[in-house]
Structure 1
């Protein structure tokens, strides 16, 4: 099956201007779907693509972090055919808001590529990145009704911790993935 074969070739890559065409296909599909976009950085307008990539790469540095935010790394999930299937945003530490309902990792797969194992592969590779950041206990959250995301988190070692109700009434499930042994 093509999907499982291509899962072996998926890899997280840093944003780059060389991937503009692939990214714009990814972005356009997601915007056209009308769905909420996760991670949040995908919803930023990439019209000035070089500036967008610069923003993403710069966000890793403490000096570029606005007050109330934390440094974060964004990576794109590239499939074996050079398409971007998903994106992940890794927060280098937690502030109060992230501790309640954002977590260390926000990730998403473009609608046409879901239910093919990409989310599990993306989260697995994102956890390798958290190891590099010395994050040994990783908080990952999902909306309470998002069974697919919950399954992805559990498949990567997530243990249910609690729920949190956001100001808008949305309930998120909070999971911890302990990486102490692997780091």
Structure 2
């Protein structure tokens, strides 16, 4: 049964396979400003080495700490991986606060499901499992965005109680309650 887990070295092999799937669909080029795209550009050349992958995992975990150095304008974020046994299926990131950029494009929560695991309900379940994490960070409601033409992501957000607020710069902005009864 899939579950959210902090990033872990034990799924390195399936993580690498997932990143190859993302790259095969064109992710990671200079125009890809998503979490996955940015990390492919930054880490892909070294992920295959166990010690480098361990550093990457440690770096992801450290991003949740408020004192961790980060680029100007970036917020602390808690990254969790959606894993079934040793199989990496996706990731979700809960940003602890909104920056001006995140308020427009990105919101509090962003997620990706590896291509071969899509259309199986993983994104919906992953977002549902992450909402209590956001609530514990005093985020309620959470801003979650998606591209205007990304109907699958829109359904994921709406299935988790998301209410459409507006559209800005080709992104739909939803407010999702995190404190469920």
TM-score calculated relative to the size of structure 1 = 0.85
Deviation track 1:37-75 (CA, whole Å, cap 9, x = no partner) reads: 853465341522111111101111111142211100111
Please list every run of 5 or more consecutive structure 1 residues that lacks an aligned counterpart in the other structure.
1-8, 166-170
Q: Kindly report which structure 2 residues correspond to 1:1-183, keeping only aligned pairs within 5 A, or say none.
A: 9-35=1-27, 38-40=34-36, 42-43=39-40, 44-46=42-44, 47=46, 48-66=52-70, 67-79=72-84, 81-165=85-169, 171-180=170-179, 182=181
Specify the SS of the correspondent of 2:120: coil
Task: Please say if residues 145 and 172 of structure 2, whose CA atoms lie closer than 8 Å, have aligned partners that are also in contact.
Answer: yes
Specify the SS of the correspondent of 1:116: coil
Task: Please say if residues 10 and 86 of structure 2, whose CA atoms lie closer than 8 Å, have aligned partners that are also in contact.
Answer: no
1:134 Cα deviation after fit: 1.8
Task: Please say if residues 166 and 174 of structure 2, whose CA atoms lie closer than 8 Å, have aligned partners that are also in contact.
Answer: yes
Measured in 1, the distance between the counterparts of 2:80 and 2:177 equals 22
Please list every run of 5 or more consecutive structure 2 residues that lacks an aligned counterpart in the other structure.
47-51
Report the number of matched residues: 168
